[in-house]
Amino acid sequence: MKIEDIKKVCVVGAGNMGHQISLHCALNGYKVACTDVIPAVLEKAEKFVENYLSARVKKGKLTEEAAKKVRDNISFTGDLKTAAGDADLVIEAVLERIDLKRKIFADLDKIAPAHAILATNSSYIVSSEIASATNRPAKVVNLHFFNPALVMKLVEVVQGPHVSDETAQILMEFCRKIAKEPIHVKKEVYGFVLNRIIAAIFREAEWMLEMGVASFEDIDKACVFGAGHPMGPFQLLDLTGIDLAFDVDMGKFRESGNFANLPIPTIVKLYAEGKYGQKTGEGFYSYKK
């Protein structure tokens, strides 16, 4: 298989990451089918695409003709067979639950063409934990985009021990074709590259918050105005989702049994209250206005 063989992309999961990955691929010339089991999520994703393209035309960033071409490139469907049946590359972007991902990959293995690469956008779950659910482990790989996927340039291509060199190199080329900056992660490590670095910052920020050293607002200010970060750790948690942070920390705890891996009390409280950040209108900060 060569990079030229990738003509159609299927994205499984139409949530925040999924619909942005879909739109970004469509903006860069690929035919994309975005699928989800929840009709309301699909409807919201389709509306996002239409509003985004309309706004780009109004700002003079896209011509009406170019916007129409992008819109024609992307379709939305609740049927996995329709979305993945003729896909050359499938990118899964669902919840960080290993059982759910293995079920989806087992289904994709039966539905997608034999040559298709099956990638997961998972931030933490390594593809070697998913590959055995398929009959094509050499083509099952982590392709990790960052939120917001339309803006963030970095993509991590993680080559586990089961992933072929061909698969890794094709995905490196694919990322460049969609105007991303890929890095080749040569070994599976928890959190990959950037999230391991960010995790160290988050641990310190969360510890200082729980110990009353400083407020989350001031910790964010320190990172933005002192370290030059585009946003502070608590702003980033609100952006990526308190629910995701809770699930990731609980996953670490279940695997390690180490109580230090449990989510901090403030995150548990926000999670229990359904305050997941920007997606719900409130997290550490309020977005209701």
As beta bridge partners, residue 11 has: 34, 91
As beta bridge partners, residue 182 has: 155
- The CA-based angle 139-143-144, given to 5 degrees, is 160
Tell me the two tokens of residue 277.
Answer: 């950040």
Which one of 19, 24, 144, 162 is the catalytic residue? 144
Which one of 92, 96, 156, 206 is the catalytic residue? 156
User: Who contacts 23 (Cβ-Cβ below 8 Å, separation ≥6)?
Assistant: 32, 48, 49, 52, 70, 74, 150
> What's the one-letter identity of residue 67?
A
Which one of 22, 121, 122, 123 is the catalytic residue? 123
Give the Cβ contact number of residue 212 at 10 Å. 7
Residue 144 — φ and ψ, nearest 5°?
-100, 105
144 annotated active-site = yes
> What's the one-letter identity of residue 161?
P
147 annotated active-site = no
123 annotated active-site = yes
- The SS3 call for residue 183 is strand
127 annotated active-site = no
Which one of 16, 142, 195, 206 is the catalytic residue? 195
Give the Cβ contact number of residue 57 at 10 Å. 16
- The SS3 call for residue 76 is strand
Selection from 209, 234, 213, 214 nearest residue 224 by Cα: 234
Selection from 174, 176, 241, 203 nearest residue 2 by Cα: 174
Q: Give the Å distances, CA to CA, from 66 to 32, 71, 161.
A: 16, 9, 41
102 by Cβ neighbours in 10 Å (0-12 / 13-18 / 19+) ranks as middle
**Residues involved in catalysis:** 123, 144, 156, 195
